[in-house]
Amino acid sequence: MTAAHYTIIDLGSNSFHMLTVTKQGNGFNVVSKHKQKVRLAAGLNGQNQLDLETMEKGWSCLRHFRKLLDHIQPISILITATAALRIATNSQQFLTTAEDILQQPVNLISGIQEAKTIFKGVSFTENTNKELLVLDIGGASTELILGQCNDVHVANSLDIGCVTWLSHYFADNLLNEYNFNNAINAARQVISKVKEQYTKYQWELTLGASGTIQAVNEVNQVQKLTDDLSYELLQKIKQQCIDCQTMGALQIVGLEESRTPVFASGLAILIALFESLDIKSMQRSRGALREGLISMMFNDQMNFQ
């Protein structure tokens, strides 16, 4: 008998993801995963309206996902949309068509709901009793969550993202100290508003749950620049970016080509987080939003808190 399939779809501000799994013990097995760089947040204009071209790109991806769903036939489907669609003043136009295509409701979750779901995913996959600080740099928002086991002590969703920071601080396509400093300082200014909520705690482990952090880890694995994901490592990689001078010439050993467009902006945000919260080192988390959604499906807790 074929094991029951569970599918989650995450309409992120940078990429759209579709993940299908089966239950296995206290965890899960991945049946299939699909990802497309839609960069929804890049389609926001000065009035925070999504342009039609970007929406069409997103809908095209969802038509592909619908065909996959017809083939997979999961017993449960959970779909979320996050920061770019929270920001967009015409998000309902996108979501109405998205629901027609997918033939399923799309949950537009708040920043705090996203943060808490990310922490659920980390708790689900990491199996640790340590006090954790979890960072997730998305396309249009960055989530900071501090907690232990299933208890969240502090959760914030900040309006900082690798796609939006790209258009704000690297619009001239130059990789130089000036652009990096502006991007880092702007991120630090946003983080400063919530900094005291975290620094009064003594967490034991910092975990990163985003594509930027995965990319930094991949670069270090290949180049072996430092022993761990440290501030020193971020500075070394930042210098490698500056040495490339322009976005078009960005080539770093160990960095996948698909990650290059938003790598510098994501790196600037990560540096700001390290500086603001005095982080010494971090590890890459195996779980994040999608794993949190899976844990909710498995426990029949489809309501967001």
Angle, CA 294 vertex, CA 293 and CA 300 arms, to 5°: 90
Whether residue 292 lies inside any domain: the answer is no
For residues 20 and 88, state if they share a domain: yes
The arithmetic mean of pLDDT across residues 185-189, rounded, is 98
Tens-digit pLDDT profile for residues 60-103: 999 999 999 999 999 999 999 999 999 999 999 999 999 999 99
Give the mean pLDDT of 180-209. 96
Cα 268 to Cα 245: distance, rounded to the nearest angstrom: 15
Residues 99, 136: one domain?
no
For residues 287 and 263, which has the higher predicted lDDT (pLDDT)? 263
Q: Are 102 and 132 part of one and the same domain?
A: no
Domain limits for position 136: 128-284
Residue 232 forms part of a structural domain: yes
pLDDT of 222 higher than 70: yes
Asked, for residue 305, whether it belongs to a domain, the answer is: no
User: Could you read off the pLDDT of 92-150 as tens digits, one per residue?
Assistant: 999 999 999 999 999 999 999 999 999 999 988 998 999 999 999 999 999 999 999 98
Q: Is there a contact between 119 and 147 (Cβ–Cβ < 8 Å)?
A: yes
Find the CATH number of the domain harbouring 196: 3.30.420.150
Domain count, the chain: 2
pTM: 0.93
Q: Is residue 115 part of a domain?
A: no
Pairing mode, strands 107-108 and 76-81:
parallel
